[in-house]
Amino acid sequence: MEDLVSELRRAIHLARARVYQVGEATPLERFEGEGVTHEIWVKREDLGPIKAYKWRGAFNAMASFSEEELKAGVVAASAGNHAQGIALAAQKLGVKATVYMPRPTPMVKRRAVMSHGGEMVSICLVGDSFSEAQAAALADAEETGAIFIPPYDSMEVMAGQGTLADEIFTSGEGPFDRVYVAIGGGGLASAVATLLKGAWPGVKVIGVEGEGQASMRAAFEAGEPVPLDYVDVFCDGTAVTEVGALTYEICRSQLDGIITVSNQEVCAAIKRHWDGLRVIPEPSGAMSLAGYLQDQRGGLVEDGEKVLTILCGANMDFAKLVDISKQAGIDSQHDRSWRFTVSEEKGSLVQLLVDLPDDVNIRDLQYGRTAEDPQGPVLTLDVPERKNEVFLEWLAKNQSRAVDVTGEAATRYRVIPFTPSLMTAPLFVEVEFPERAGALLGFMQVVSSVVSLCYFDYSYSGERVGRALLGLDFASEEVLIERRSEIFEQAGLTVRSVKEVSIDWFS
């Protein structure tokens, strides 16, 4: 094993003479944010030529071959970032490259491959997973004689990634006590751990995997690389079914531990990157910080320890931000979802909201009247740290009617059951209000003496104005006709606008 580690260290030093032909060293940036109690630095690989670190290994591997060897071209398999590195290298070296990618690969990564490679690159979409794409790439190489450039299980690829660690060492910001690094196939983790532990023997290098894609942990437990039966692809850049033979051996000897993080923890870490650095990493790019935050919450990071995380990529379809934003709210220290029981009496839901402790913000409210009694509105609440003790005391008093439903499928997918037949004379309205504490509640308090709430759908969007869909149930059609205008007039005193919504689809 020592020979393998020494070989990788030598290869990293040789790689320095190659990789900077196509990119420059990326900076380290100090990270500061709410709840961060240690000195944390972030390696900004999102500022590299392909917005991720993979250019290093791809170019180093291709540049290590002679012109004669490269005449048949190269093939590769990738979920996105390695493909961009191959494309960049192909354009620089004048080599034809064929890249096999899973069909669900985000469009932003496919477009980037063509942008970097131009006419030197062609993309073949195969299968639904990286494993299927890799099998196709290997078959192509066997048939055509092209050189297969693996995404991680190669000494030259790992050496290229290791130039990232070399830049950390020469940055002048070290030594670090802890370094967190995302693991997909294990190439980056192998290189980072190998070089930094050689430079700073006391450093702890900790691998971070997604809960549904922990292929390195599975290898550690089995004593060899083993394929996973299922791989979660939310963090698509690290969604690997089986780690490499080389990466397994090196990680086993060099890593100080592996931790797994949930998709919700990753989303919360993406939000932390935005809050602290005004940058939005792709999910895999935020895994490193997610790992640190988990250890910090668990009390495993000692006071005074200096920490490094690696933001390893920022290539993501913009549309994915919607899901990330929702999941980022599921934070075990701040945001939790609760199903409360309230009576069917008029004003009971309003009273629950009035009773909430001051400064506890509602991030999401889901309620629909059903045949069950009592009713069960679901509230996702943002509890500031300074108010946590007060909230827990309030919650203890209401424990008999509060059930934690954080992360449950019905909560995540915002399933709002309701029974239209229980509504006497409903009026559905879209309410727009200033996004501040008390604005919508003021409207609800005004109308609660006239109507009962039969439906409520609100989710915090981060805008200056909030929007909610409310169902207002009147005692009869006659009362609805008589007092409809009054409701709208009163609304104008407390919110920005109220617009009636057709209810045909509710029936």
Residue 506 predicted with pLDDT over 70: no
Highest mean pLDDT among 171-175, 382-386, 392-396, 494-498: 171-175
Please give the Cα distance from 228 to 218 (Å, whole number): 8
The domain at 2-53+155-328 falls in which architecture? 3-Layer(aba) Sandwich (3.40)
> What is the pLDDT at residue 329?
62
Contacts (Cβ under 8 Å, ≥6 apart) of 200:
169, 174, 175, 176
> What is the pLDDT at residue 439?
75
Look at strands 39-44 and 306-311 and give their pairing.
parallel
- For 356, the enclosing helix (H) or strand (E) is none
The tens digit of pLDDT for each residue in 26-83 reads 999 999 877 677 899 999 999 999 999 999 999 999 999 998 999 999 999 987 889 9
Please give the Cα distance from 382 to 388 (Å, whole number): 10
pTM: 0.77
At 457, which amino acid appears? Answer: D
> What is the pLDDT at residue 82?
92
Range list of H helices, 319-419: 320-328, 348-355, 388-397, 409-412
Please give the Cα distance from 121 to 138 (Å, whole number): 17
Residues in the chain: 507
| More confidently predicted of 193 and 67 | 193
> What is the pLDDT at residue 249?
96
181 with 192: CB under 8 angstroms?
yes
180 with 289: CB under 8 angstroms?
yes
Spatial strand order in the sheet of 465-474: 402-404, 335-340, 378-382, 361-368, 452-459, 465-474, 425-434, 497-500
| More confidently predicted of 384 and 154 | 154
User: Which tokens belong to 420?
Assistant: 């239209």
Please give the Cα distance from 418 to 184 (Å, whole number): 43
> What is the pLDDT at residue 334?
59
- For 467, the enclosing helix (H) or strand (E) is strand 465-474
Nearest-Å Rg of the Cα atoms of the chain is 27
Residues of CATH 3.40.1020.10 domain(s) within the chain? 335-506
Provide the strand spans (E) within 131-177: 147-148
> What is the pLDDT at residue 23?
92
Give me the chain's average pLDDT, please: 88
What is the CATH class of 56-148?
alpha beta
Q: Among 3.40.1020.10, 3.40.50.450, 3.20.20.80, 3.40.50.150, name the CATH number for the domain at 335-506.
A: 3.40.1020.10
Spatial strand order in the sheet of 306-311: 28-31, 39-44, 306-311, 178-182, 204-210, 257-261
Please give the Cα distance from 190 to 245 (Å, whole number): 11
The tens digit of pLDDT for each residue in 333-386 reads 557 888 998 887 777 888 888 888 888 888 889 999 887 678 889 998 888 777
Looking at residue 52, the DSSP 8-state letter turns out to be B
Site of tokens 């509060």:
402
Q: Residue 424 class from Cβ within 10 Å (0-12 exposed, 13-18 middle, 19+ buried)?
A: middle
352 with 374: CB under 8 angstroms?
no
The tens digit of pLDDT for each residue in 457-481 reads 998 877 777 888 999 899 899 988 8
> What is the pLDDT at residue 433?
82
> What is the pLDDT at residue 332?
46
Residues of CATH 3.40.50.1100 domain(s) within the chain? 2-53+155-328, 56-148
User: Which tokens belong to 401?
Assistant: 């009617």
User: Which tokens belong to 216?
Assistant: 């390195």
Please give the Cα distance from 370 to 363 (Å, whole number): 23
> What is the pLDDT at residue 487?
79
> What is the pLDDT at residue 295?
95
Please give the Cα distance from 265 to 258 (Å, whole number): 16
Please give the Cα distance from 18 to 12 (Å, whole number): 10
The tens digit of pLDDT for each residue in 85-135 reads 999 999 999 999 999 998 888 777 888 899 999 999 999 999 888 888 899
Positive or negative, the CA dihedral 409, 414, 420, 425 is positive
Site of tokens 């915002």:
414
